[in-house]
């Protein structure tokens, strides 16, 4: 009896762009470019695993004294599928992003933007 091969899970390439707190306190036109890195993860990675990997990348770039997901505004976009930056703040938005990314058969990727929450934005409700 021949066993069927398991389908190969798509791997998503994430480009992660991280702004510093100092950049966020400047006028958007004067912020300059974010520091960027990338990571590839299988499309079945859980939300918690994704957050941990993202925070690991942010930690390696910003080197904060403490790190917590709620200290950042995280948005995503997927070229040609979902170009509007959208908050990435829970499991539902994560699943939506993954589905949009793997919907693209040729370029399975997503762009993630990470912005530290500024004292001004913490006051907004």
- pLDDT-derived band at 93, boundaries 50, 70, 90: very high
Q: Could you please report the per-residue DSSP string of 88-110? A: --SHHHHHHHHHHHHH-SS--EE
- pLDDT-derived band at 125, boundaries 50, 70, 90: very low
- pLDDT-derived band at 18, boundaries 50, 70, 90: very high
Mean pLDDT, the chain, integer: 90
Listed by start position, the domains of the chain span 11-123
What pLDDT does residue 5 have?
A: 62
What pLDDT does residue 123 have?
A: 45
Residue with tokens 């399975």: 108
| CA angle, residues 97, 8, 112, in degrees to nearest 5 | 25
111/63 Cα distance (integer angstroms): 21
55-74 confidence digits (pLDDT tens): 999 999 999 999 999 999 99
5 versus 89: the higher-pLDDT residue is 89
**Rounded average pLDDT over 1-20:** 83
What pLDDT does residue 1 have?
A: 58
Does domain 11-123 fall into CATH 3.30.450.20? no
30-60 confidence digits (pLDDT tens): 999 999 999 999 999 999 999 999 999 999 9
Distance from chain centroid for Cα 52: 11
Residue 2 has pLDDT above 80, yes or no: no
């Amino acid at each position: 009896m021949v066993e069927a091969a398991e389908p190969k899970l798509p791997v998503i390439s994430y480009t992660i762009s991280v702004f510093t707190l100092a950049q966020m306190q400047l006028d958007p036109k004067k912020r300059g470019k974010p520091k960027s890195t990338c990571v590839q993860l299988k499309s079945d990675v859980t939300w918690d695993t994704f957050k941990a990997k993202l925070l690991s990348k942010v930690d390696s770039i910003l080197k904060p004294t403490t790190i917590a997901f709620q200290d950042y505004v995280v948005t995503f976009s997927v070229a040609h599928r979902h170009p509007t930056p959208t908050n990435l703040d829970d499991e539902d938005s994560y699943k939506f992003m993954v589905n949009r990314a793997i919907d693209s058969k040729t370029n399975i990727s997503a762009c993630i933007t990470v912005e530290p929450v500024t004292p001004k934005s913490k006051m907004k409700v």
